[in-house]
Structure 1
């Protein structure tokens, strides 16, 4: 299908047309013209007035559940939700059953996700069965198509194991993406340690648990001169530690979940388990520091931290509810609510995630392969059962009006309009 998008504002830091209002023509999967264009009889015309055209979003931190937990989400429903959220690429975590810890599971994901508008790329486990004891088949997985390695929401507790893993992947330019929590400090805490945790009568999880783990990983990365990526940071102290490490030349990068840029711990006062996430929601001062960290470049990227669950895992007492939000469709509205402009959204949600993983970065230029998202930053829409494309519904934003609507996505010569 040939396509003409008219009157759209381009947001792409790598494009000569950045921040310009243009018409964009796509023919057979390639951007063939950008400028003031006249429609041809053979093409579909989309009115982009008031909308933004960005390189397609890419999610660094997505749980699908396939294989083994398809009742939560499968590749089909995840990619449908991803498209509606503006994502043309997903990096999927290995916390499946079986765990993605060998080339067989990597090849399963690669083959199951073929011919999709959304690129689905597997992240292999660092340790066998995510147990943090025996190293998984890292090199074999990379050869089969794994783009990085992570134990998902499980931190690597053993310092020696983490050191050996960093040293090993350095030999073939692999990247470890680690979750920042010192379990011996965190214990079984489920909410941020603060006045709110006292008010709720629940044991608090101190920022110290996150920051100690980040400090350890920074020390090890510096010792081995190897890169490490910290996933889902949530505290002001974490921002400060990573900022200093970058200044010192350590090869450290990090991301933040979109909900940690908006939601704060006060939302837990009604014990709504849909706000139960890991790391926990923090204080307003942490949110302010995270947003500042994004704007100054300390935080490299934003992720969805998509964690779908069946109703029986969330519609229960807070203390026994599972962690996580089904989040692919709500990232953009949350970033707009947090005050990020179109340029920063493109950088943190489309360009930098791919740069961190060494993937090809889409660019809005004539002659480039078409991989982009068009969204209206001021359009309101109702996120409800009818508009939710995920198999799960564990979101505190369900049945609420959101601002920031994805209008269409294009990738792999495929178009999806909303």
Structure 2
């Protein structure tokens, strides 16, 4: 597709045109010219109000359901939703049926994503069927296109298995994703353990459930070497431990979910299961520590942790409802309410560097991998803004700042 994007302000601190308004010419998916004004000739043109452009964003944790749970979300509609939400890449979690634990399922989900503007990158399960007993076929999956290996929302209880896995993946430069949650400490807890859980009479999940497993995993990483990514941390002590591990030189990165940054357990007063997530929404003390961790660079990535859940498993008693919220559509607008634009863009792009080893530059000669947005518009997220098949959003009726127009990627322009 040949197009000239007009009057776009580039948001890219490494770019000579950073914070400058320019035209961008794209021919057959490649940026061929950037200038204050470009004669578009017979090219199509795109004008959008207060248009800003950054390198494309990547969501490091997305769950649709297909194969096996298409009633929650399909790959086709999910990738369209991701594109209209500003994401040119997504990391696709293995909690499908069958589980993404072998080369054939990796190839299947990739085939379903063909011809979409947003690229899908499978995460292979760390253990067979995500059961925590035997290592999966990680080498074969990486050759087929998996970008990392982890059991979604499941800690590896067998420390020796995690040790062996960390040693094994070093032969092919693989990354282990190690979710941290001690099920025995969590017990029957469903929300953060604290004042709110006591008032509501709900069983609490202490921060210790996350922190004790994180401490063990960091000790294992120090022993084995290799690369480890800790997804969706939620406590102040987790931030401190990862900061210390990085200072020691360990090759560890981490992410935080948008909802854990923006919301606290105070929203649980009406027992609304839209707010039941894993890890749980914590109190303001932990929320501020997470924000500080983003600002000082301890937290590498912000993810929507988009998890589609059908209404039958959400509209029920709080104790029985499944964990998870969709978040692609609301991620950008929610983040700009609490963080500066440059930080939001940096953290939404960071997963591309970590998992794909790709730069985010907007330069002549590079393939166009762009997100288009207006960072200033104020609005409220309503049911009409939900593009996902599932409607389990924690951000319904939440105030937003900044709207996403769409993306240009894989030689396709997708505008909402």
TM-score bin, normalised by smaller chain = over 0.9
Any stretches of 5+ residues in structure 1 without a counterpart?
Answer: none
Superposed counterparts of 1:141-180, under 5 Å: 141-180=141-180
Q: Which residue of 1 aligns with 2:239?
A: 239
Q: Which residue of 1 aligns with 2:255?
A: 255
Instruction: Please point out which of 359, 365, 388 is paired with 2:357.
Output: 359
What do residues 62-95 of structure 1 show as CA deviations (whole Å, max 9, x unaligned)?
1111100010011111111101210011110000
Any stretches of 5+ residues in structure 2 without a counterpart?
Answer: none
What do residues 336-370 of structure 1 show as CA deviations (whole Å, max 9, x unaligned)?
012232x22221111x2011113322310111110
Aligned-partner Cα distance in 2 for 1:82–1:348:
16
Aligned-partner Cα distance in 1 for 2:78–2:379:
20
Aligned-partner Cα distance in 2 for 1:246–1:82:
31
Q: Deviation of residue 382 (structure 1)?
A: 5.2
Instruction: Please point out which of 379, 395, 398 is paired with 2:396.
Output: 398
Q: Which residue of 2 aligns with 1:377?
A: 375
Q: Which residue of 1 aligns with 2:333?
A: 333
Q: Which residue of 2 aligns with 1:345?
A: 344
Q: Which residue of 2 aligns with 1:416?
A: 414
Aligned with 1:101: secondary structure?
coil
Q: Deviation of residue 411 (structure 1)?
A: 0.3
Aligned-partner Cα distance in 1 for 2:337–2:74:
29
What do residues 201-233 of structure 1 show as CA deviations (whole Å, max 9, x unaligned)?
122111111111111111111111111100000
Does the 8 Å CA contact 2:57/2:352 hold for their aligned counterparts? no
Does the 8 Å CA contact 2:79/2:113 hold for their aligned counterparts? no
Aligned-partner Cα distance in 2 for 1:333–1:211:
30
Aligned-partner Cα distance in 1 for 2:33–2:67:
41
Does the 8 Å CA contact 1:362/1:370 hold for their aligned counterparts? no
Q: Tell which deviates more after alignment, 377-386 or 271-280.
A: 377-386
Superposed counterparts of 1:45-194, under 5 Å: 45-194=45-194
The 1:360/1:339 distance shift into structure 2, 3 A limit, reads closer
What do residues 309-331 of structure 1 show as CA deviations (whole Å, max 9, x unaligned)?
11111111111111111111111
Aligned-partner Cα distance in 2 for 1:188–1:140:
37
Aligned with 2:124: secondary structure?
coil
Aligned-partner Cα distance in 2 for 1:56–1:6:
18
Aligned-partner Cα distance in 1 for 2:399–2:282:
24
* Aligned residue-pair number: 416
Q: Normalised by the size of structure 1, how large is the TM-score?
A: 0.96
Aligned-partner Cα distance in 2 for 1:401–1:246:
35
Name the Cα RMSD after superposition: 1.4
